[in-house]
Structure 1
Amino acid sequence: MGDQDRWSVTADVGLGLGCAAALVVQSAAVAGSWGGGYWVFGCAVGMVVTLLALARRRHRGWTAVAGLVVAAVAVLVAGLAGLPHEPGPATALPLAVLIASAVGTLPVRAAVAIAAGGMAVVVAVAISAISGAGSWPRTGAAALTWWNALAWLAAVAAGTAVRVLDARRRATAERVRRDERLELARELHDVVAHHITGIVVQAQAAQLVGARQPERARQALAGIESAGSDALAAMRRLVGILRDAADGAPASAGPEQLADLAARFARQGMAVRLRVPDDAGSWPPEVTATVYRVVREALTNVARHAPAARTVAVAVTEEAGRVSVEVVDDGPSVPARHSRRHGYGLVGMRERVAALGGTLTAGPRPDGGWSVAAVLPAATGERR
């Protein structure tokens, strides 16, 4: 039995005991003041509504309607037969539970109808008290009216509170799902764009040198095979995280693997100069992952949009609690290159850096080439 089931059973046991105690007290009070068997009618009504309240989880709408019908009939019978006014306290308690349960869970129209039915019962009790129907003193009938009114008000308030909390939970869950979808989109873009770009570049190189330099063509094909294997492994890591967040391998590498990243891009014909601080391993995982992704996306953009670039400088530094990442290439600064660089890659990088309280800029350099620069806090506790 899960925690939710235990809580439900505990709540029903408490409700049953509370209603039983209320029935005993009410029956004793009626028997002491009225004598005879006058307590039987109120006890029977209270028991029926209590059983409906205990069965409410099977169908909250119909049990609430049945409870209201029983209460309305009890008001009518008590008035016509000269019995104590109903619903008594022992009936008003489980009836309030039925109303609260229906208001908190049913669709809006059904919830409003149940609440209106409860108010109709309260009005019927008030009319019965004002008209003098039944055999209770007017003061006792007025007190009973107030009791039913307060029970109805508490039920509606509790049901409304449940609806509001449930709406907030749904909104939070939807926001989490939306964030997860964005995160998945960024991960897929990072993984697929990086590896597929390498495959495409090396395939183009193999076509160019295949006839004249077979040895270099074989090297390019080997690089394509390696990039394909890396892409498959990265996709498996991502799927592993989606299947089991606790056991899946990390989908993103940290700065300690930047050298491998630079070497892979160097095999595509670019000279990548890398500078990383010695204490990069002490950064939080989200910082190291973001640094790696910024560098990977920037190198991917160079390979994709600046094939004429021959040198790329990657500098990762830390100063005054801030980590700076700068990727600069020597490719030509042409307008077409500028317009093509504002895709999902830069959007994803900006979102990642902004999530840690940092900033990212990207654009052409005055003396040629392209620059991507990011600054983020070395400790994630500094995010805003």
Structure 2
Amino acid sequence: MNVPEWLAGRARNASDLGLAVVFAAVLTFWASRIAESWGSGYWQFGCVAGAVVCLIALLRRRERAWAAIAGLAVAAVAIPAALFGGLPAEPGPAMTLGLSVLVGSAVRTLPARSAGAIAAGGLAVVVASLFSARTLAFGVPAVTMLNGAGWLAAVAAGLAPRLLAARRRAAADKVRRDERLALARELHDVVAHHVTGIVLQAQAAQLVARKRPEQVDASLAGIEAAGSEALAAMRRVVGLLRDADGADPATRSPERLEDLVERFGGDGRTVRLRLPDDDEAAAWPPEVASTVYRVVRESLTNIARHAPQSRTVTVGVARDRDAVTVEVTDDAPRPSARSPRRRGYGLVGMRERLEALGGTLRAGPREDAGWSVCATLPVPTRERR
């Protein structure tokens, strides 16, 4: 048993001990009051019945449903017995307290249907106490008010942590859904980028095979390398589900951006990269550095997919005192109205990531030609030194 479990067990034992002391005090008090008002021969039945329910309440952790049923059954027997035997009204304070513990425990932990049945049984005991009091002509009897207050307190004490636990589960489910969406975006980013590269190299290999057959082997080797890189990247992303600590680090340094841009260049396309000074880049927060990398990667992937005719691509990353700005532009001709650029999950994912960090994203055609993606990320205060 680890330390938290040991501490939890000690806390449960302490609470049960305190509850037993309260039960004993209430039983003693009620017995003395009945002996004073009714006489010495009338307190035994109520105290024995109350003690039985209190004992069941102390043993409730073993089987909460059956414990609650047993406590309600004792009350169901005690009420008509007191009514027809000419005894003080039941349930008394001790039994009411025991039943409140049993009902509250059941409402808190049992499945909804079972918890509702136990709560309904407790309410039936409250209603039945009206008849055992034999004072209906003078308004609601005190014993009924006591039992009603105990039942309401039990239901409230059981529902409050139950609803809180439900909210926590709902929040956890939302986080899991968000993580699945994040993983889908990660897979989209990785697969789209690498598969686009493979497709472009395969198209180039077809041209090489017709014009320069001696270079086919080199083209096939490039396709093989790109495929191996895609598999490795997908394994890293899927690894995020298994072990976050062993996954690929989130931070993307400027050197990684240089590698990304270098892989993207070729086929007559010129890619220019402008980066901030090394000291400025080193001060990037990890989440900002990761998002910068993702914005550049997604923008280049979109250019490869939707603007293969572009010849010049410019990637600019700059940082001032308050923000990091990323802009990726190309010079592709404007698409016709019948073949507009599609907006898939990549652009949506970029916008979601940026907005989550308090940033903005602008994407659209440039005035002269081509497309522009501009992202701005605020730098957290703790990073501004």
Give TM-score scaled by structure 2 length: 0.86
Q: Which runs of 5+ in 2 are unaligned?
A: none
Q: 1:377 maps to which residue?
A: 378
Give the letter aligned to residue 167 of structure 2. Answer: R
Q: CA deviation at 1:32?
A: 6.3
Structure 2 residue 92 is matched with structure 1 residue 91: no
Residue 85 of structure 1 aligns to a residue whose secondary structure is coil
1:265 deviates by 0.8
1:122 matched residue in structure 2: 126
Partner SS, residue 238 of structure 1: helix
For residues 93 and 266 of structure 1, what CA distance do their matches in structure 2 show?
78
- Residue type of the alignment partner of 2:70: A
Tell me the distance in 2 between the aligned counterparts of 1:129 and 1:306.
87
Residues 1:47 and 2:51 are matched in the alignment? yes
Residue number in structure 2 paired with 1:327: 328
Partner of 1:241: 240
Task: Tell me which amino acid in the other structure corresponds to 1:74.
Answer: A
- 1:257 corresponds in structure 2 to 256
Aligned-residue sequence identity (percent) comes to 61
Contact kept, 8 Å, 1:338 with 1:364, in 2: the verdict is no
Matches of 1:367 and 1:154 in 2, distance apart? 72
> Does residue 69 of structure 1 match 2:73?
yes
What amino acid is aligned across from residue 77 of structure 2 in structure 1? V
**Compared CA separation, residues 78 and 255, structure 1 to 2 (3 A):** farther
| Matching of residues 1-384 of structure 1 within 5 Å | 1=1, 3=4, 6=9, 7-27=11-31, 29-30=33-34, 38-108=42-112, 110-131=114-135, 142-214=141-213, 216-250=215-249, 253-267=252-266, 269-278=268-277, 279-335=280-336, 339-379=340-380
Conservation of the 8 A alpha-carbon contact between 2:264 and 2:300: yes
The answer as to whether partners of 1:284 and 1:380 remain within 8 angstroms in 2 is no
User: So what's the TM-score if we normalise by structure 1?
Assistant: 0.86
* SS of residue matched to 1:210: helix
Q: Is the 2:135–2:141 Cα contact (8 Å) retained in structure 1?
A: no
Q: Quote how far apart the aligned CAs of 1:107 are.
A: 5.0
- The more displaced of 310-319 and 230-239 is 230-239
**Shift in Å, 1:317:** 1.1
- C-alpha separation in 2, matches of 1:94 and 1:244: 47
Alignment partners' CA distance in 2, 1:255 and 1:185:
25
Describe the SS at the equivalent of 2:368. coil
- More off after superposition, 22-31 vs 351-360: 22-31
Greater CA deviation, 350-359 or 251-260?
A: 251-260
Partner SS, residue 324 of structure 1: strand
- Shift of residue 105, structure 1, vs aligned partner: 3.9
Maintained 8 Å contact 1:22/1:89: yes
Distance change >3 Å, CA 8–CA 270, structure 1 → 2: farther
Shift in Å at residue 315 of structure 1?
0.4
Q: C-alpha distance in 1, partners of 2:274/2:217?
A: 31
**Is contact 1:205–1:217 with CA below 8 Å preserved after alignment?**
no
- Aligned-pair CA distance for 1:39: 4.1
- How far 1:285 sits from its partner (Å)? 0.8
Q: Contact 1:198–1:268 (CA<8 Å) still a contact in 2?
A: no
The structural deviation recorded for 1:142 is 4.6
Deviation at 1:290, TM superposition (A): 0.6
Superposed displacement of residue 67, structure 1 = 1.8
Q: How many residues align?
A: 377
* Alpha-carbon distance in structure 2 between the residues aligned to 1:12 and 1:81: 33
SS at match of 1:170: helix
Post-superposition shift, 1:237?
1.9
Contact 1:53–1:98, Cα closer than 8 Å, also in 2 = yes
Q: Which whole-Å CA distance do the structure 2 matches of 1:16 and 1:368 have between them?
A: 82
Is the contact between residue 237 and residue 251 of structure 1 (CA under 8 Å) also seen in structure 2? no
Aligned residue type for 1:366: E
Q: Is the 8 A contact 2:317 2:325 kept in 1?
A: yes
CA distance in structure 2 between the partners assigned to 1:187 and 1:127 by the alignment: 68
1:208-260, Cα deviation, whole Å (9 max, x unpaired): 10243245433332322332232222222223321122343326634441001
What is the SS of the residue equivalent to 1:220?
A: helix
